[in-house]
Structure 1
Amino acid sequence: MNYIKMRDLRIDGDNYLMQVKIKDYLDISRHILKKNEFQRRRVRAAKSVYSLLKEDLIKGCVIPPISLALNKTSETFESQLNDGISGALLTNVDNLLILDGLQRTYSLIDIEKDLQAEYGLESSEIENFYNHQIRLEIYSGLNKIGILYRMLTLNTGQTPMSLRQQVEMLYLDYADIDIDGIEIVKESESRSATQYHQYNFKEIVEGFNSYIERNELPIARQDILDNIKGLEKLAHENSGEDIFKEYLESLHHFIDKLNNLTNGYELDSEYYDISFGASTTKIFKRSQSFTGFGAAIGKLKDNGSVSGLSDVIPLIDQLNLSADDSEELLSKLNDNFNWIKDHSSKIGNAQRNYLHFFYRELFNQDSESYLDLLKSATTAFNRYNSLYN
């Protein structure tokens, strides 16, 4: 057997330790770095420890194992390993992710380029470098929660990823598909979500994180322990249901319902002081609303008012607003946002606080404002004002 296998009971996966030639690792690493959108960024510093590492690697030093994750069953991978390590790695290159050792990987790539430029492709210097052995450890059979957990614990000496980055990694699959007519737009696409059915991925991630954390405020950089706790909570929440999809569908259903109730009505700026939005779509289809919605539904779930996001769509269908009330609702909301703008030092956070109370009043069956849009706009403002002023 040309590898050592151990079971990681914490993340319910197998760990394989093996030796490979640098050439074999370089053949797969370039593909990994190109394919995976959520690998960490490269650290650039002329006099960093990575510059010293390059010198050591040329001299043939032994470096700590580079850790990879393989999103594939261990039984399949193990049978491939028994036929040859290099072949197994190449076969699974599309499913590999670097958990720990990204900067070491970049150092190896840099050395290869330097040696090729100085000595040529067929030189003994580069051949000796290619034949030097390094160690790899590969985690196999992990789900995405397990991969992220191990990535975080392996990188405790580095600046941890924000929870938003983790959620983006978890739900990157959704960024490339339509969900019931909803399109998610990524920042990397160099375009904005300008159409009615489009949503910016970053903003949806923030709103979804507010549901997980029960907190409407923007995602802040957190330490490693907070990140792991967030993942544990997400793992518990995500058991047996696709809550990201449910969050986005219920949010879009709410925005669509209000647009239909008001028939797309917009306030006239000649008569109204419009500080936040002239229509319900312009008010509620923005990040402050997304996070307020997420935090509110999460807290309502905790207190038993709803069992989860799946309960929200039927409640949205029960919302009612007469055509004559559209103008009053929009003017009231903008009046409240005008007051918040004039009395808050952090306007964006204050808007999130208010919208969080709005959604809680609207969908809380014990509230006098239950399913009443006009009452919720007023009672939410009163609650906000009593707590923050």
Structure 2
Amino acid sequence: MPDKQLDMIKDNRTGCYSLLISYPLKDYLDLVKSAYENKGGLEKQRTALKTSTAKRIRERMVSDLKAGTILPPVVLGIVLSETQVKQLAQLSYFMTFISNAKESLTIIDGMQRTTAMNEVVRLLSSDSEQKDKYLNETQVRVEYWIAQSINSLIYRMLVLNTGQVPWNLKRQIEVVFNPIITEIKNSNPSLTLLEIDDSKSRHKAGQYQTDKLIELFLAFGLRKEKIKLQEQLADEFSRLDFIEATSNPSFTEYFKTILSYFVRLDRAFDEYHPQEQIEGRFKKGREIFDSQPARVGFIAACAREIMGKPGLERSTAEKEERFSQLSDKIDAFLESLEKRDQQALETFFDLNTLNEVISSRKTGSLGDYERAFFLKAFETLIEEKFKVPSLTVCWRAY
């Protein structure tokens, strides 16, 4: 391929660069193999298409591909620094760079098309000559979105898919969450990520499974405590709320900072070990944040304090001011909490009241009740500027 200048266009809204390149199908499938397989294929990205109409569309796509149709460009995303972007002036350099950065690529739009392409290759497997011809002669258009932050890729992905076949939002975020996990690891050395096949029960504060962190990320963006992870996101308002949140360049920084405070809070809670047996579900401090509803409640409460409740949009300046004020208050609260002895912690946590209130639920889903309960509890703590003699007022707020 002759070398030439790259045709890159900068998106001034997100700071991303758009780049369009064509590949032989064989090269494309090799390029995205890791991005595709590491997520478990289509069903890990988008909710399975089960309706008869959807199946017919899929079959038509495969049929059209076999007949030589050209599909809309697949969109691949990658996060690079500004310095790296400036080095990608020549096409040959870019192609070499990308071939060595396959593990960093994400398919932000085109899982259905990629699956259909693989299906055609599978159907031709009995005729090696025809298969090789198809792989080498079929051209695939690829649009690269080169971003300087994962935030921009999430924003771009959600905008691309709004109004199409509904995606499971959790699956969409998983597509681009790996770089965020890397950032979280680097910024929170005291945080330990448990693998999916690890035991679900953690052994100490600061340990979390990746899927639980994804839920916290969603709770922060949606500013909600109830997230139906296994359902399609038919609620366009929720999708638009998340798009609005990720349109703020500081969004992921807000989340990482609040998460770091949460980890400190988790560890501070873990310091409380009652001398006497406590009746009820919560028998020691750490067990509060063993509960995912409590984690979600804290994160969602912080998100609402910074960005407002769903439907209320604050200005960038107001978000920055509220974020700064909240950070200062949490930091001061943690410094005070970390200095307390066991007797002071016993008074402060008041686990007896927490257990009594939690066990008094009469009807409804326990999970939904606890999420609403802890959201209100931590909203109360924030409203009181973290200056409470004990958490009793929080436990009784719902």
Query: What's the TM-score once normalised by structure 2's chain length?
Result: 0.76
Choose from 221, 234, 241 the match for 1:229.
Answer: 241
SS at match of 1:48: helix
Q: RMSD between aligned alpha carbons?
A: 3.6
Q: Structure 2 unaligned segments of length 5 or more: list them.
A: 309-321
Higher Rg: 1
Q: 1:246 to 1:131 in 2, by over 3 A?
A: same
Distance 2:144 2:307 in 1: 38
Distance 2:236 2:157 in 1: 11
Q: CA deviation at 1:315?
A: 0.7
1:150 maps to: 156
Q: CA deviation at 1:329?
A: 1.7
Q: C-alpha offsets along residues 227-283 of structure 1, whole Å, 9 cap, x if unaligned?
A: 2432432453736x84334333322333333443x4344535xxx4x1x32222223
What is the 5 A alignment of 1:52-201?
Answer: 52-72=60-80, 73-79=84-90, 81=91, 83=92, 87=96, 89-116=98-125, 118-120=126-128, 123-124=129-130, 126-156=132-162, 157-162=164-169, 165-166=172-173, 169-170=176-177, 171-173=180-182, 179-187=188-196, 189-197=197-205, 198-201=207-210
Q: Structure 1 unaligned segments of length 5 or more: list them.
A: 385-389
What is the 5 A alignment of 1:190-339?
Answer: 190-197=198-205, 198-218=207-227, 221=233, 223-224=235-236, 226-236=238-248, 238=250, 242-260=253-271, 262-265=272-275, 267-268=277-278, 272=279, 274=280, 276-301=281-306, 307-309=325-327, 311-319=329-337, 320=340, 323=343, 326=346, 329-339=350-360
Q: CA deviation at 1:15?
A: 1.8
Distance 2:372 2:333 in 1: 22
Q: 1:347 to 1:159 in 2, by over 3 A?
A: same
Letter in 2 for 1:352: R
What is the 5 A alignment of 1:37-56?
Answer: 40-41=45-46, 43=48, 47-56=55-64
Letter in 2 for 1:288: P
Q: 1:256 to 1:24 in 2, by over 3 A?
A: closer
Q: CA deviation at 1:162?
A: 1.8
Q: CA deviation at 1:332?
A: 1.7
Distance 2:131 2:351 in 1: 73
Percent same amino acid at aligned positions?
Answer: 17
SS at match of 1:77: coil
SS at match of 1:17: strand
Distance 2:159 2:353 in 1: 49
Query: What's the TM-score once normalised by structure 1's chain length?
Result: 0.77
Indicate the larger mover: 51-60 or 214-223. 214-223
Q: Say if 1:35 and 1:94, in contact at 8 Å, map to a contact too.
A: no
Q: CA deviation at 1:137?
A: 1.8
Q: 1:223 to 1:19 in 2, by over 3 A?
A: same
1:387 maps to: none
Q: 1:195 to 1:74 in 2, by over 3 A?
A: same
Q: Say if 1:68 and 1:97, in contact at 8 Å, map to a contact too.
A: yes
Q: C-alpha offsets along residues 36-55 of structure 1, whole Å, 9 cap, x if unaligned?
A: 67972485669432222222
Choose from 28, 31, 37 the match for 1:28.
Answer: 31
Distance 1:105 1:302 in 2: 37
* Number of corresponding residues: 364
Letter in 1 for 2:343: A
